[in-house]
Structure 1
Amino acid sequence: MPDAIDDTVHTTIHDFNQQIIDEFRANRGRLTGMFENARLLLLTTTGARSGRPHTTPVGYLPDGGERVLVIASAGGSPRHPAWYHNLLAHPEVTVETGAFTYQAQAVPLTGEERDEAFARAVESDPGWAEYQAKTTRTIPVVALYESGDGGPGTINAGSLSEAIKVVHDAFRQELVLLRAEMSGAGSALGAQLRVNCLTFCHGLHNHHTGEDTALFPFLADRHPESAPPVFARLREEHERIAALVAELRRTVDGTATDPAAARAEVERLTVELEAHLAYEEEQLIPLLA
């Protein structure tokens, strides 16, 4: 009888996860229901015994420009989740963020580094502490380092014009999450929320640098009639946004951050960035069609 119960539970979890995976891929990372504002990614590992790929939706923590963190909580189960055993045997994994898919190297954190990361997770969501309280095992925290040349990975789009919209929508969604997290901040801005802001700033800086150095020259060469007015304005907007990003960095990069000041900077950046993204799509997508 216990085996039958275990099989039923396993099937239920598999079906539930598959629904999330299907929705995640269909909507490039956007989910509805209980996970609408959750930070989730799809992690594909290689089975430790079977050697077959296994995809699991997992919560993650932004952690700068070089890595993200995932937590092997298994809801406070006494056993580590299967995906954790898989990556111990095969550290090469595939990560899907919705906008991007990339290969990564999984590295479990240890000692103080693990404890500090888990403390940040608990600070941002007390549910992690509840999971740890349910079990005697130390819940692992794993860093996923992007493999390859350090680029953003493969954009989940079928064309360059579609890629612009996909990447822009990813920034829009991140702003939605940041603003929701900011609104829930109390009298002090938590360490993980500061990391979230700084990670967003890093990603936006890299995106605009790539546009300035590669995309804009490419399009200006193909469409010289659009070069003077359009690309001059876009570069000016990049400079204004860079100044707002720098101010947000200064506001949140410290232990005595004023949440009200941080929220104000995020709102200023949101207004400017949303207008910029809309103008850029209006001007560039037709050039790439």
Structure 2
Amino acid sequence: MNQRLPHWLAQHIAAVRVVLVLTLLTGLLYPLAMTAAAQIPGLRDSARGSRVEGPGGEDAGSSLIGQSFADEKGHPIEKYFQPRPSNAGTGYDASASGAGNQGPESVVDAQDKPSLLTLVCGRSKAVGDLEGVDGSRPYCTSDGVGAVLGVFHSGGTSGRVTRVVSLDQPCPAKPFRPFHEGVPVECARPGADYSRAVTVPVRGDAPADPVVPADAVTASASGLDPHISPAYAALQTPRIARERGTDETSVQKLIKKYTTGRALGALGEPAVNVVELNIALDRTYPKQGA
């Protein structure tokens, strides 16, 4: 007559069986199945990281992750299309993906951190200077910071204006406007407390539709997006043609080749892959791109 195993032992044996079966399924069979599926034509490139090759066949990165085409000092390399700004580490650091976490109300600079408005203004001015176009934007000063006044009133938030400070222009900068409601505008003294002032952004006379596109002055949520808008690519075309010793029509053809349309024909906006486009430039114009 067979003796039944103790209840506690039967439970342990059953648990060991479950562990072995799950280990076999999820630790061996499933990974092997996914590895095999990844070799299917059409999926193989993505499974390998969407790598792109340089002009000489070397590994030049991934088509899914942007790169900073700048020199050691952070200045744009003029023979390359420039990507959008990046908040990932020091720029396009895949190990530090992230956003700047600043919103539309970020208009006043902190002592150790510029506001989002000042970042946008500075970037727009820099792009305008690089491309030889008008880089002005609403609510920006001509020197590339936020056009924001701190207005003090006799009654706290209302009443007669008693003092006005250009909050994003630290001394000895010259304020972007000399007077506000008849009161002289001061530059901001570093470390001074202006929390009691009413914040007044000043639109200025910049065009409502700036020449420099929005994606040229704002980072993506991940900080790794390799795409720019066709408008930003078009803005850079004259510089690229000049630096590469070719005509703008040839550059435009390359842009069109590396432009993707809306997903499913309706989602998102057309975009240009800067990484692939710059590699194509080096491949097409090897002497100028060397």
Same fold? TM cut 0.5: no
Structure with the greater relative contact order (CA < 8 A, sep ≥ 6): 1 or 2?
A: 2
TM-score scaled to structure 2, two decimals?
0.30
Return the TM-score normalized by structure 1: 0.30
Larger gyration radius, structure 1 or structure 2: 2
